[in-house]
Amino acid sequence: MKKLVALCAMAVAGIAGAGLVSHDYAQAAPEPSVVPISWQLDFKHQAPERLQVTIDGKQHTYWFIRYTVTNNTGKDVLYTPEFELLTDTGAAQVAFKDVDRKIFPKIKELYKNALLESPTGILGKLLQGEDNAKDGVIIFTNLDPEARTFKIFVSGLSGETAEVKNPITDKPVVLQKTLVLEYNVPGQAIGIDPQPQLKNTTWVMK
């Protein structure tokens, strides 16, 4: 799993697994091609939702986003997504890390969706066409209560890549075209039940 680098992500560019890099380097990262140069999957997502559950006598809070991914590229594609979250407070986490295994079944039961696939079950070949679309879910542990905005990075939706040189190690690093979903979290800082609102959707090379 690629490491989420806070500095690069806040600059809307990143280097997977590169560690902290300079702001100038982050700004110099290439941008995705305006004209598609590789396959790209269709990704439709719902709003983030909060789930509070009691496990072994302790209350836990999770956030999840339901989504549908469809392959209209004209060829079968290997679907191996990665999801990362970064708040404006610098708190970063990788989807499904430290998420209790009981959470996915609870979400599936909540929506009575027999087609909702588990985080591991959804991986693999994605066949072409609407009839072969897959329903999945992204799950994170609780947000930093001080966060007022956060970004979710979704990689694995495009075959577009770019190679750059890591200024620290002087070794080449491959960036992937990555979808960025940016949300505001009004109310959280004053104790109101947070209702994240989608602020912006962009593509970056990360």
Q: What is the pLDDT of residue 2?
A: 40
Q: What is the pLDDT of residue 188?
A: 56
Question: pTM, whole model, 2 decimals?
Answer: 0.84
The secondary structure of the chain in percent helix, strand, coil, rounded to multiples of 5, reads 10, 40, 45
Q: Which residues does 23 contact at the CB level (< 8 Å), separation at least 6?
A: 7, 11
Q: Which residue has the tokens 């990262």?
A: 29
- Three-class SS of residue 140? strand
DSSP 158: B
Q: What is the pLDDT of residue 191?
A: 54
Rg of the Cα atoms in the chain:
18
Local mean pLDDT, 10-residue blocks, the chain (206 residues): 39 38 51 91 97 92 98 98 98 97 96 96 98 98 93 98 90 96 80 83 96
Q: Is residue 1 part of a domain?
A: no
Q: Is residue 89 part of a domain?
A: yes
Q: Is residue 60 part of a domain?
A: yes
Q: What is the pLDDT of residue 187?
A: 67
Q: Is residue 178 part of a domain?
A: yes
Distance CA 118, CA 102 (A): 11
Distance CA 101, CA 62 (A): 12
Q: What is the pLDDT of residue 166?
A: 87
Distance CA 115, CA 173 (A): 37
Domain hosting residue 71, numbered range: 6-205
Distance CA 159, CA 52 (A): 36
Q: Which residues does 126 contact at the CB level (< 8 Å), separation at least 6?
A: 41, 69, 71, 76, 77, 78, 79, 132, 134
**Cβ atoms within 10 Å of 74's Cβ, excluding its own:** 8
| Number of compact structural domains in the chain | 1
Q: What is the pLDDT of residue 190?
A: 53
